[in-house]
Homo-oligomer: A and B are copies of this chain.
């Protein structure tokens, strides 16, 4: 598949690119193409020394939209509206949200917008796009660690069945991830809230990179 990552130069974005570009055509997007270029060079070099194949392409965030069947939003939730305002051509696209709005107080607190979740907000901002929440709960530190398998469950929810199915197929193509169908987009708050929960668990239980597995 042709998959593009908006905000692809962050830690999670680069980690996704490392994992996805072995099986898919990946576009790393950034507000500045030079940053995307630098990220692609780094990721490409790492994959090359590991002897792994890859198809990685630097571009702008708009370039991601223009070239990809699946557009992943890997940006801080607070940048969402500004980023969308800067883009055109999102209509009809599958858009994957892995955003988990949260704030840090004496613990990590889920801080959804009034719509209920970042994914629901995104669907309201883009009524003609197909929003899917997925990849929300994978520990950031594990994406880039190619020496270890990614063996978590990935909740996938959407109001668009075709988009959900395609995203589940994408999930299942990565390492040992297992996509689970969690139902309509309305359940996305429960999925997003798992991320502050596991960060709290890591902190209070003195663990690292806590992820979730359903069984």
Binding site for B on A (CB under 8 A): 106-107, 109-110, 152, 155, 180-184, 186-187, 189-191, 193-194, 196-198, 200-201, 203-205, 210-215
Contacts and interface: CB of A to CB of B under 8 A. Distances in A.
A196 B198 CA distance: 18
Q: What is the interface of chain A mostly: helix, strand, loop, or mixed?
A: mixed
Contact of A184 (B107, B152, B186, B201): B107
A56 B5 CA distance: 57
A172 to B, nearest CB: 13
B155 A186 contact: no
Nearest to A198: B214
A210 B204 contact: no
Nearest to A187: B200
A201 B155 CA distance: 8
Counted per complex, copies of this chain come to: 2
Given A107-B187, A109-B186, 5 more contacts: A110-B190, A182-B205, A190-B194, A190-B197, A213-B213
B181 A201 contact: yes
Contacts of A106: 184
Contact of A187 (B155, B196, B215): B196
A107 B186 contact: yes
18 contacts: A107-B187, A109-B186, A110-B189, A110-B190, A180-B205, A181-B205, A182-B201, A183-B200, A187-B197, A189-B193, A190-B194, A210-B214, A210-B215, A211-B214, A211-B215, A212-B214, A213-B213, A213-B215
Contacts of A193: 189-190, 193
